[in-house]
Structure 1
């Protein structure tokens, strides 16, 4: 009796490279003003795209270094890690860039650090795996003796409605309960990729306010839609929004 042999599975897609041009030269960087952002070839957690919101957040951070200069920064659900790379290059004391603890995602972040951050600065940035809402000790240990992050970055995460509470819990555990200024502790950039679910996206801020956060929208920019053939109003799908969150 012959057994039927299944054909081999096709190999996973190769990683791709996206480019981001800084407005100013990075001293000591081999790439000068251009960052090479490596993206995993494919991933169920959408880490294989450089999202419009990440680009807008990175550009905003380039021009607001006072938010993180000499301070500690954390990016959650980072994908390629572009916004975190900007803070690492522009003077943050320590930047921790995280994504789901999947080997491909974390190794990809490590590659982007090696390719874009000058060797003399790499001690100021670390890539770690992290599940939202989980134990924060490994993240906080990376910024000792600090006991909290000064700034947390969330880019294109609020579409994941089931994780709103976990995201806010992480922000609460990782930021200062009694900050000394009115500066934001969290920056949230996003696009309504599914316009019919926009209200559910905004539920993130409703939940945050119910837990004592002060939420302020301050940014809006229209870009080209990520996916031209998706359903829903193309203007809604093309618009990036930015919010500041601080403790009440």
Structure 2
């Protein structure tokens, strides 16, 4: 059988069968409702946003820690107002959006430096907080944990960040040191890292928590667990990291 015969019979050995390469799933639409008691007059009440259909780094998922972190920032506006805020591994970027709405001086939302991911953040920002994009309060940029921070610092005129947000990143065990390197380089002397996460693989919870051990033993951060309702604490763990001038001590996990 030659190639001419193949073509005449409607068959080609070089043509992929229909459906051989599956198309990526379409983007998904999501809604985030602010709690009425947290809404200032004249500000957005509901965020409508899109997540990409699928991504190997789980950027297509809306994680509960990100939602809880957003509500927390919305009810603790002092963490946002007049502050320079950096979010790592933002994906949906809800905490960054609410920080901008609540009066942050500047917000830099980052994710893996891939065009699809960053464009999605930018498009959602334009959709929900266009005025804060236009006046450059809100910014989105690709950033690889542990890498050079000069592009981040350009946005803040070389001023370090008052608050660094990390929502549901600790399952990336191999990246703990890189995350902390970024925090160490970007955080202002009296700043705070707000870290919320869920142990999605309970059998690896100890490895998730090892982030905080490294934070204290290798980077001399002071680690504190945030109090919270039993309902929240049953699924979400929340910790703060601050620079410490005190001698290093073992970190004790609390339930």
Question: TM-score, normalized by length of structure 1?
Answer: 0.86
Residue 118 of structure 2 is matched in structure 1 by 106
> Which of structures 1 and 2 has the larger relative contact order (alpha carbons within 8 angstroms, sep 6+)?
1
Question: TM-score, normalized by length of structure 2?
Answer: 0.84
Structure 1 gaps of 5+ residues are: 225-235
Residue 125 of structure 1 is matched in structure 2 by 138
1:56-67 pair list within 5 angstroms: 56-67=68-79
Distance 1:36 1:26 in 2: 18
Residues 27 and 142 from structure 1, CA distance in 2 versus in 1: closer, same or farther, beyond 3 angstroms?
A: farther
- The number of equivalent residue pairs is 228
Structure 2 residue 247 is matched with structure 1 residue 240: no
| Aligned counterpart for 1:192 among listed residues 189, 192, 199 | 199
Q: Are the equivalent residues in 1 in contact too, given 2:225–2:239 (CA < 8 A)?
A: yes
- Deviation at residue 219 of structure 1 after TM alignment: 4.0
More off after superposition, 17-26 vs 46-55: 17-26
| Aligned counterpart for 1:6 among listed residues 16, 37, 50 | 16
- Deviation at residue 151 of structure 1 after TM alignment: 0.5
Structure 2 residue 179 is matched with structure 1 residue 167: yes
Structure 2 gaps of 5+ residues are: 4-12, 245-255
Q: Which structure 1 residue ranges, 4+ long, deviate > 3 Å from structure 2?
A: 24-29, 219-224
Distance 1:129 1:120 in 2: 19
Q: Deviation string for 1:152-188 (max 9, x for gaps)?
A: 0000001100000000000000012x32xxxx51000
Residue 227 of structure 1 is matched in structure 2 by none
- Deviation at residue 118 of structure 1 after TM alignment: 3.8
- Deviation at residue 53 of structure 1 after TM alignment: 0.1
* Aligned-pair Cα RMSD in Å: 2.0
Structure 2 residue 154 is matched with structure 1 residue 141: yes
Residue 250 of structure 2 is matched in structure 1 by none
- Deviation at residue 22 of structure 1 after TM alignment: 1.2
Distance 1:26 1:105 in 2: 30
Residues 142 and 19 from structure 1, CA distance in 2 versus in 1: closer, same or farther, beyond 3 angstroms?
A: same
1:175-214 pair list within 5 angstroms: 175-176=187-188, 178-179=189-190, 185-210=192-217, 211-214=219-222
Q: 1:206 aligns to what SS in structure 2?
A: helix
Q: Are the equivalent residues in 2 in contact too, given 1:152–1:187 (CA < 8 A)?
A: yes
Distance 1:21 1:219 in 2: 23
Residues 220 and 25 from structure 1, CA distance in 2 versus in 1: closer, same or farther, beyond 3 angstroms?
A: closer
Distance 2:86 2:32 in 1: 20
Residues 21 and 94 from structure 1, CA distance in 2 versus in 1: closer, same or farther, beyond 3 angstroms?
A: same
1:217-236 pair list within 5 angstroms: 217-220=225-228
Q: 1:239 aligns to what SS in structure 2?
A: coil
